Structure 1
């Protein structure tokens, strides 16, 4: 197995560990134990498509047009802040029902929300398309092995996050616990938004050595 598979796996896993709207959504569904397999599969397929786009050269196209990167940065920050405000609202004014009392959500609504936090979040494109794509293309002819490793990491991450989150369900048996989770998500999203705004989107070659 080429070393690039391992490097791609590690690179993607370091990005996935940081909580974002997509991870927060998968975590919530895992705790609720609702449509976990569907959500994990959907997130894995979506990331596979985004990784393929980056490895296939879309990342280079974005780097050639700096304005696209700026739009992704500020759009991503705006999306994160909006998601944070939504979580803060849920923490401040909860529905009053825990998931087990309110009944399962409709599958179509859950799928739609999953697609929103995946494809309408510009920050995802900065990480999965631009950063992973740029790192993959450093590997020249072996870039697809890097991409395969990155996709494997994404699938493993979502599977572990989604299916292990159910173990936390006893801790979320009260509305107060969900309020705490929403508050933590809100604070985290604001922090990530600040990082996106102050961090340069450029991907120097040295980053590859750091990941290895």
Structure 2
């Protein structure tokens, strides 16, 4: 069981570690110190649901509905393009008075945006339902599968809460309009690159 747990934790953590749209959004909210707990909880619980489904073998659904990944890619690319455009527009306008004062969008719109980043991202299904589910098949006894899934879920919780609350260490260098403008340009670029990758099938 220990080997299954270690494998589950390291597999999930390595997959989540890659910089993506969801991570960039969590980082941004962490810098604002706004709704960090609920945002991290939503992201981690979403991963927990998907990881559990992957370990349970839900990836077979993709074989039944082969067009599903393509539809998710189109929806995800559209969302990422719009959000990226919003970040470019914010950088162009440079109106960061509310941001510099620590103000953010209300809780529910923030969570809705995070949910879209999570559930409209085809890559998260590849990671959780596909890769994590595939790795879990080497652990046949049910207790080992449970240990694998629990450890993989723990990796998600530790990553998102570490990212969300660790972001405040960058706060001292994010006290100017120029810093936030550069950050938003970077986020917008990441969003558009991922959207392009989704449309070209390279993600």
Query: Conserved in 2, the CA contact under 8 Å of 1:73 and 1:126?
Result: no
Distance 1:32 1:96, change over 3 A: closer
TM-score (norm 2): 0.84
Aligned pair count? Answer: 200
Deviations 1:119-146 (A, max 9, x none): 2333322322333223323433333332
Whole-angstrom CA distance in 2 between matches of 1:109 and 1:86: 15
Please identify runs of 4+ aligned residues in structure 1 that moved more than 6 A.
none
Deviates more, 1:90-99 or 1:13-22: 90-99
Q: Which runs of 5+ in 1 are unaligned?
A: 201-212
Whole-angstrom CA distance in 1 between matches of 2:59 and 2:74: 17
Query: Secondary structure of 2:18's partner?
Result: coil
Among 151, 171, 177, the alignment partner of 1:169 is: 171
Whole-angstrom CA distance in 2 between matches of 1:107 and 1:192: 26
1:203 maps to what in 2? Answer: none
Whole-angstrom CA distance in 2 between matches of 1:164 and 1:182: 19
Deviations 1:155-177 (A, max 9, x none): 11001101110111111111211
Query: Secondary structure of 1:39's partner?
Result: helix
TM-score (norm 1): 0.81
Q: How large is the RMSD of aligned CA atoms in angstroms? A: 2.4
2:24 maps to what in 1? Answer: 24
